[in-house]
Amino acid sequence: MLQTIIHHPLSRTLFVFSMICSAIILLAVLLAPLLIPIIISFTLYALLEPMSETFERHGLSRNAASLSVLLILVAIGALCVSLLLPHLSLQLSTLQSQLPVVWQSITTMGNDISQHIATSLSLDIQSSGLTQHFFTQVDEWGKAALIEGSNMLISLSVLLVLVPIFTFFLIRDFRTFRNNLLDKLPNSSFEMGWLIYYRVAHQLQEYIRGIMIQSAIMCVITTIGFYILGFDSPFLLGIVAGVLNLIPYVGPLLAMVLPVLLALGHVPVEFWLVGAAISVILIAQLIDNVIVIPAVIANAVNLHPLIVIVGIIIFGNLFGFIGMVVAIPVISTMNIIYCGLYQGIKARYNLKQKAAIDI
């Protein structure tokens, strides 16, 4: 009985799968301080590798092709920073100057609503106490965010140095490293190993390219929408919407928060603007769902929406924003590895069963 359970393809798959997961988790723990630059570098590798291949096909050596891609990456980065940063910092300072007015307006509105409820229901609600408590909490969050932000700036400068270096070496050496690693597989698992690797790599590459294009399109559409509505920081709001779009399902909802708060901050409150701000995100989502997703990332990740949402919540709870962004690729990779292992192990098991019957 025990032998049957041990040799059953499901238990064997689960054993091998848990060994692979343990190895990945151990590697992630060891590389924890470098995990974010590594994730960003792999993303850039997935985006830039085709460019390097094109250079190689046109006669450049691997080194020269990798270096050319790195130079192009640095040039594009420098161009973006020099062109966009002044606008972005201007819009950020406008937003900062608006925030006290927004808080004040929301406080007044909260007080008015509480007052209205208290009057209509003849209740004695300490509205000022409630809003005071809420804003003390918000204030604390804000301070924490500022400290987090300054830490992020330090991390950002580290990223700016590490990411190009990592990306260069990935473009130059990843294929050799991968070949050496996979060639270590025993003959019996060689084809299965490569098959699983290619399925994972193909799906991740498709997903990363798709989600980047999708985020850029979301950024453009929402920027135009907020600009038409007369928001003071349309570009900043567009970038926030684009970045939050990296988180499937949950991201678009989070993207509504800032524009809605800014719309509520107008004195007197213009409710049509709140509706219009929500509509911009919804229209962008509609365009995304009808045109972009079918054309760009259809079938890139074949997961049930419920798994996606639960995965995002769990990963977000464990690893914060980065966890929410990487949740889908990680779950999808695990899914492919598990299915590939099961397929291979089950084929072997069926073969052994058949041989035993024949004997």
Residue of 35, 74, 109, 195 that binds other proteins (CB under 8 A) = 195
Residue of 202, 257, 294, 302 that binds other proteins (CB under 8 A) = 202
Helix (H) or strand (E) holding 306: helix 305-358
Residue 70 CB, shortest distance to other proteins, in Å, is 22
Give yes or no for residue 188 binding other proteins (CB under 8 A).
yes
Residue of 17, 103, 135, 194 that binds other proteins (CB under 8 A) = 194
Q: Which is nearer to other proteins, 56 or 232 (CB)?
A: 56
d(CA 186, CA 324): 36
- The contact mask relative to other proteins for 229-268 (x = CB under 8 A, - = no) is ----------------------------------------
- Residues in region 157-186 near other proteins by CB under 8 A: 179, 183
Give yes or no for residue 198 binding other proteins (CB under 8 A).
yes
Residue 173 CB, shortest distance to other proteins, in Å, is 15
Exposed e or buried b per residue across 234-272, where buried means at least 16 C-beta atoms within 10 angstroms of its C-beta: bbbbbbbbbbbbbbbebbbebbbebbbbbbbbeeeeeee
Residue 208 CB, shortest distance to other proteins, in Å, is 17
Residue 5 CB, shortest distance to other proteins, in Å, is 22
DSSP 107-129: HHHHHHHHHHHHHHHT----HHH
Q: Which is nearer to other proteins, 50 or 86 (CB)?
A: 50
Helix axes 271-287, 250-264, angle to 10 degrees: 160
- The number of residues that bind other proteins (CB under 8 A) is 20
Write phi, then psi, for 49 (nearest 5 degrees).
-55, -40
Q: Which is nearer to other proteins, 183 or 270 (CB)?
A: 183
* Whole-number Cα distances in Å, 296 to 130, 153, 203, 210, 280: 47, 33, 12, 5, 21
d(CA 309, CA 53): 36
Sorted by sequence, the CB contacts under 8 Å of residue 222 that are 6+ apart come out as 237, 238, 241, 242, 255, 280, 281, 284
240 close to 222: Cβ distance less than 8 angstroms: no
Give yes or no for residue 347 binding other proteins (CB under 8 A).
yes
**Considering only 9-17, 33-41, 193-201, 217-225, which stretch makes contact with other proteins by CB under 8 A?**
193-201
Residue of 57, 58, 184, 304 that binds other proteins (CB under 8 A) = 57
Whose tokens are 């006669």? That residue is 59
213 close to 296: Cβ distance less than 8 angstroms: yes
- The contact mask relative to other proteins for 300-339 (x = CB under 8 A, - = no) is ----------------------------------------
DSSP 21-37: HHHHHHHHHHTGGGHHH
Residue 288 CB, shortest distance to other proteins, in Å, is 26
Sorted by sequence, the CB contacts under 8 Å of residue 301 that are 6+ apart come out as 203, 207, 308, 328, 329, 332
Whose tokens are 């925030």? That residue is 99
Residue 343 CB, shortest distance to other proteins, in Å, is 6
Residue 354 CB, shortest distance to other proteins, in Å, is 8
DSSP conformation class of 184 = T
Residue of 190, 249, 271, 272 that binds other proteins (CB under 8 A) = 190
Give yes or no for residue 350 binding other proteins (CB under 8 A).
yes
Give yes or no for residue 63 binding other proteins (CB under 8 A).
no
* Residues lying near other proteins in the complex (CB under 8 A): 53, 57, 179, 183, 187-188, 190-192, 194-195, 198, 202, 343-344, 347-348, 350-351, 354
